[in-house]
Structure 1
Amino acid sequence: MTSGPGRRHDQVMTASSHWLGVLLAFMLVLFVPSAAFAHASLVKAEPADGAMLAVTPPTVVLRFNEAVAPAVIQLIDAEGKSRPDITVTADDDTIRVGLPATLPHGTQVLSYRIISADGHPVSGAVQFSIGRVSGATSVGAHNGMFADAGASLGWAIWLSRFGVYLGLFAGIGGAFFMAVLASARQPAPAALAALGLGLASAIASLGVQGLDLLGLGFGDLATSAPWRAALATSLGPSLGLGAAAMLAGLAALICRSDRLARVLAVSGLIGVGLSLAATGHAAHAPPQVLTRSAVFLHGIGAAYWAGALLPLALMARRPGPELLAALSRFSRLAVPLVAVLALSGLGLAVIQLDRPAALIDTAYGQVLTAKLVLVALLLALAAFNRFRLTPALPRAPSNTRALIRSIGAEVVLVLAILGLVAGWRFTPPPRVTAAVAAARVPVNLHIHTDKGMVDIVVSPGAVGPNSFDLQFLSADFGLLAPRDVRLTLAQSARGIAPFMRRATRRADGNWELRDMVLPFAGRWQVTVDAYVTDFDLVTLDGELEVKP
């Protein structure tokens, strides 16, 4: 047996060892990383965060550092719509999100909220872009006519738009001439052909517009997605009005009642103006009451003039009293309508151009300049016909050769003008580019707390890629030099969970973050974490208003 003091010493040592073990265990739990207590974090995303892709990937794969369970997975597409047509599967540390095949071009945001192994919810978001970064395609910075659409799709859009214009102007205008201005009802094969082509082109235009909106291929025309997407734009009502007008023109040509034919023809001509006023840059320019009215009148005037040319040329091949009577009626209305056509066109050009130099240094202005040159030639030919050739017809009714040649030249010029106008689909007007440039003024954000402050300059402060420049000061306006800076953004209104980016220190001591994509306009929550030391963190919270 041990003596009393020795026994007490052993007891003290045993107790000390016991409590030392407990303390070591506690320190291990507290300071040593453990899978059971560490929160889950995203290790890898496929496609990578910020990736630029040519086509929609079939899935997005999120890999975490431990097993996770998805709570909320939300895909917000480039149009700002939450997509319900995704599929989510989880396998241990990996979450796979199946994507729809109809994502529009632009930046998509996949927002996630997952449950980590310790039952803690973890939120975040990854971005990837399809075709282009949202807001990165600067209007006016096009590399060719079809820069926004693929070449083949661009030509399909142009051809279908050209065909619609032929139906509206040559078809409906021709039906109006035959029903209202011609003294006797005659066959109108050119107008019938233009109307048939216009109706087919209206259908095709709707389809290819949908393909362009969603970034799809021609094979997707067999699905409903592009058609529904196009119908949801202003082009849907415009083509609907145009098709109804063309059907009215077709009915005017084939109906037997002269009175009903005139009513249908006039209705069709009005439909031309309504169809054009329902869509397009010019119709949507402010003030819309004036611009839509100008487009309406411009369309009616163009259809009246362009539609009469082929019927007049066909009548001139078989000269007779009907030709002189039709020319007389056409000329009486042509002079005031051409004046309306010119004035409305001039007003729209002034609104759209923004500045005279835009006629030369923008694609829109170059198309407009070419159109004006062709219109000037067209007016010269029309004046020659009106004041030289037409007065000579009564003296030599059978000598219409010069008139036929002159009208033929007018037809060629009209076709060239329609081709140019169809190309405006790909050339935003300078008015829009000026508005975008004005909107791209940097946004300044100041966040101040009792521990420090930061001045943030966000350029351009609009949807698309942005640069963040950060300057830190202490609460008493002294120097604050953090060792590490992290910027976190979220948009709770859209359900976009916070996503973090690390800033880079510049040579002047300030911090910057380049090519930060803000895919949607509106209010974003901003958190700046400035790590001054390992134990001193300055957190600054504010809000940023992002422009469209």
Structure 2
Amino acid sequence: MSEPWSVRTRIAVLLGLVLALLCVPLAPASPAAAHAALVTTTPARDEVIGYAPREVLLTFSEPVTAVPGRVQVLAPDGRRITVGRPEVRDRTMRIPVRVPERPLGTYLVSYRVVSADSHPIAGSFVYSAGAPSATPPRPPDEQARQNAGLLLPTAKFTGYLGLVLAVGPTLLAATMWPRRRSRRGVAVTVYAGLALVAVATAGTWIGQAADTVGAPVGELGPADLRAVGESDVGVVLAARLALTALAAVLLPAAVRGIAGRGRVVGVVVVAVCVFLTWPLAGHPVAAPIPVVSVAAGAVHLAAMSVWLGGLLAVTVFLLRRTHQRVLARILPAWSRWATLAVGWLIVAGTGQAVMELGRPTALVNTPYGQLLIAKAALLAGVLAVAARQRRLVQRGTAAEHPRRVARAAGVELTVTAVVLALAAVLVQTPPGRTANAEAARADRAGIAQSVTIDLYTLQFDIYPAQAGTANSLHAFVYTPQGRALPVAQWTLSVALPGAGIEPIAVRVDVLEPNHGSAEIRFPVAGDWTLKMTARTTDIDQATVTATVTVR
């Protein structure tokens, strides 16, 4: 290839990276698009009850972890009444509170938790005892402000770019590199890739700390960074840094083509573990089938790194000044590797998309699905160009037209750089499967009621209050003074007299002395009659009857 074409190819690659970086600001400017959603609360949002409860319960759409010091309940006078630390069991967080000296008025609950896929969610709501206050309390730190901003999506993109530079060139150098060609350039590329992975991991750590505590990056302290290290995400990120350092020790021999079988196995094991750290710190851990989703995510990353990294190495280092006969041997071998990688890329990516979307309509009705369509469309265009190149290789004419190959490779790298930027945005966007939970939060789906009788006060909530699906019920019993009242035996039945459906007995599981839960399946929609009996002693029991509307 002549020198002008080499310059053009490099300019095309550089422009692709610049364009991808310009696409990064498409990401959300703050972590408001969290990946878990608050679906029910007890007391219910904006509910007016006749007493001050001794605990507040929040149920989310996914398992969560409370951020220390960021979960609180404020009394009507603005004083904090939270007692001890909140307790989290799976998707439900229990916040113990004390009854203030002046219990009547509006209470404010503010929370900040981290969902199972490492994304924070924050919010607040109010309830009232007796009657709402004229001036409800305000949370002390609820000013709107950016936390990590663009740091996280930029770090994601940098990490992907690092994998491309480290993986593909290493594979090419270890398996099909010409003997007479210098390996210095490819070695520098590989180490630059490892450095980018390390920098991206550090950036992710800092961004995660900022989003977790809800503070700008400039206000973070050592304790905030240590808090990330103590989380599941921090363990994964620390493992990634350690594995990257180990890769820096193992890769030189592989790049020089002198690695023995044991070192090759070590490189493969380290690479697999590195790939796993990305899905283990993202959406896949909260997917319906986490093991499958994590595996698909790792395969997707590995295939992308092999394909794009190898293509970059061929374009930058081999097409220029490599003899035609040598290229005639290298290009078919590389084409087979690329075809295999693209196949795995498509299979794993499709599997991931199905699991993260949850339903077909999410492909067009959610930001996640729309970004996925844009990514798939760009990738389809790239694959069309790659298919033409493969036909040239199969006919044995690719080595005779290095300029054409370089030009097409430049197009592929340019567009796929944009695809990587979209991927960085995509992993920061709520998956389509959580859209139902977000809609339920907006519509205040579900039912929450409080019924007071002589013996006790019963609070219960049913979510999502829909026919034909599993509905979760949580019930709590308190004394008239707002103290938890242990229940010796629960009895629950539901009926739909208007449709001739007789009472259906429902088993109640005891989670805590005053807390019962059940799973109810309403066969049809309608106004169902719910009867719940709580026996508090050998002789004291009472039945509460309520009507609940099931959609």
| Residue 480 (structure 1) aligns with | none
Q: Aligned in 2, Cα 1:113/1:445: closer, same or farther, shift over 3 Å?
A: closer
Classify the secondary structure of the residue corresponding to 1:428: coil
Deviation at 1:437, TM superposition (A): 5.2
Equivalent residue in structure 2 for 1:182, among 169, 172, 177: 177
Give the aligned partner of residue 166 of structure 2.
171
C-alpha distance 460-395 of structure 1, shift in aligned 2 (>3 A) = closer
Instruction: Provide the rounded CA distance (Å) in 2 between the counterparts of 1:455 and 1:82.
Output: 27
Change (3 A) 1:178 1:94: closer
For residue 110 of structure 2, give the secondary structure of its aligned residue in structure 1: strand
How far 1:222 sits from its partner (Å)?
Answer: 4.0
Partner of 1:352: 356
Gaps of 5+ in 2: 1-53, 59-63, 84-92, 113-121, 127-142, 466-478, 487-510, 517-541, 547-551
Alignment map for 1:445-456 (pairs within 5 Å): 445=449, 447=451, 449=453
CA distance in 2, matches of 1:434, 1:240: 34
* Structure 1 residue matching 2:215: 3-state secondary structure: coil
Question: Tell me, what secondary structure is at the counterpart of 1:259?
Answer: coil
Amino acid corresponding to residue 362 of structure 1 in structure 2? T
Letter in 1 for 2:183: Q
Q: Distance in 1 between matches of 2:447 and 2:82?
A: 36
- Structure 2 counterpart of 1:198, one-letter code: V
Provide the residue aligned with 2:134 in structure 1: none
**Structure 2 contact 109–124 (Cα < 8 Å) conserved:** no
Match of 1:129 among 110, 121, 125: 110
Instruction: Quote how far apart the aligned CAs of 1:244 are.
Output: 4.2
Could you say if the C-alpha distance between residues 94 and 302 of structure 1 is closer, same or farther in structure 2, counting changes exceeding 3 Å?
closer
Q: In the alignment, does 2:336 pair up with 1:337?
A: no
Q: Does 1:319 align with 2:319?
A: no
Q: Over residues 188-235 of structure 1, what are the superposed CA-to-partner deviations in whole Å (9 max), with x where a residue is unaligned? A: 1333222212211111111111110110222244423234225503x3
CA contact (8 A) 1:209 1:230 kept: no
Change (3 A) 1:375 1:385: same
Give the residue type in structure 1 aligned to 2:422.
L
Residues matched between the structures, number = 378
Residues 176, 304 of structure 1: 8 Å contact kept: yes
Partners in 2 of 1:445 and 1:84 — Cα distance? 27
Secondary structure in structure 1 of the residue aligned to 2:282: coil
| Structure with max Cα Rg | 1
Q: How does 1:151-162 map to 2 (within 5 A)?
A: 153-162=148-157
TM-score (norm 1): 0.56
Q: Amino acid of the residue matched to residue 252 of structure 2?
A: I
Alpha-carbon RMSD across the aligned residues, in angstroms, is 5.0
Partner Cα distance (1:336, 1:149) in 2: 48
Task: Name the structure 1 match of 2:259.
Answer: 259
Match of residue 243 from structure 1 = 241
- Say if 1:171 and 1:227 are closer, same or farther in 2 by CA, change over 3 A: farther
Could you tell me whether the CA contact under 8 Å between 1:310 and 1:411 is conserved in 2?
yes
> C-alpha separation between the residues in 2 aligned to 1:167 and 1:456?
51
Corresponding letter in the other structure for 2:123? V
Query: What is the match of residue 427 of structure 2?
Result: 425
Change (3 A) 1:149 1:386: farther
Aligned to 1:15: none
SS in 2 for 1:216: coil
The CA deviation at 1:236 is 2.6
Sort the Cα spacing of 1:309 and 1:243 in 2 relative to 1 into closer, same or farther, 3 A.
Answer: farther
Question: Which residue matches 2:384?
Answer: 380
Highest RCO, 1 vs 2 (Cα 8 Å, sep ≥ 6):
2
Residue of structure 1 in register with 2:28 after alignment: none
Deviations 1:226-257 (A, max 9, x none): 34225503x33443443344335433443367
1:419 Cα deviation after fit = 0.8
Aligned sequence identity (%): 24
CA contact (8 A) 1:312 1:323 kept: no
Q: 1:181 to 1:135 in 2, by over 3 A?
A: farther
Q: Deviations over 1:514-544 (max 9, x none)?
A: xxxxxxx999879xxxxxxxxxxxxx999x9
Are the counterparts in 1 of residues 147 and 217 from structure 2 also a CA contact under 8 Å?
no
1:291 corresponding residue in structure 2: 293
Stretch of structure 1 that moved more, 218-227 or 198-207: 218-227
Partner of 1:209: 208
**Alpha-carbon offset, residue 109 of structure 1:** 6.6
Deviation of the 1:457 alpha carbon: 6.8
Q: Which residue pairs with 2:305 in the alignment? A: 303
Question: d(CA) in 1 for partners of 2:457 and 2:56?
Answer: 34
Query: Which residue matches 1:363?
Result: 367
Task: State whether residues 173 and 269 of structure 1, in contact with CA within 8 Å, keep that contact through their aligned partners in structure 2.
Answer: no
Q: Which residue of 2 aligns with 1:413?
A: 415
What are the Cα deviations for residues 427-455 of structure 1, in whole angstroms up to 9, with x where unaligned? 11111223565796423557574699999
TM-score normalised over the length of structure 2: 0.56
The letter for the 1-side match of 2:149 is: G
Superposed counterparts of 1:398-409, under 5 Å: 399-409=401-411
Structure 1 unaligned runs (5+)?
1-72, 87-92, 100-106, 137-147, 462-485, 494-520, 527-539
CA distance in 2, matches of 1:442, 1:75: 17
User: 1:138-197 CA distances to partner (integer Å, 9 max, x unpaired)?
Assistant: xxxxxxxxxx99557221111111111112233223223322343447121333222212
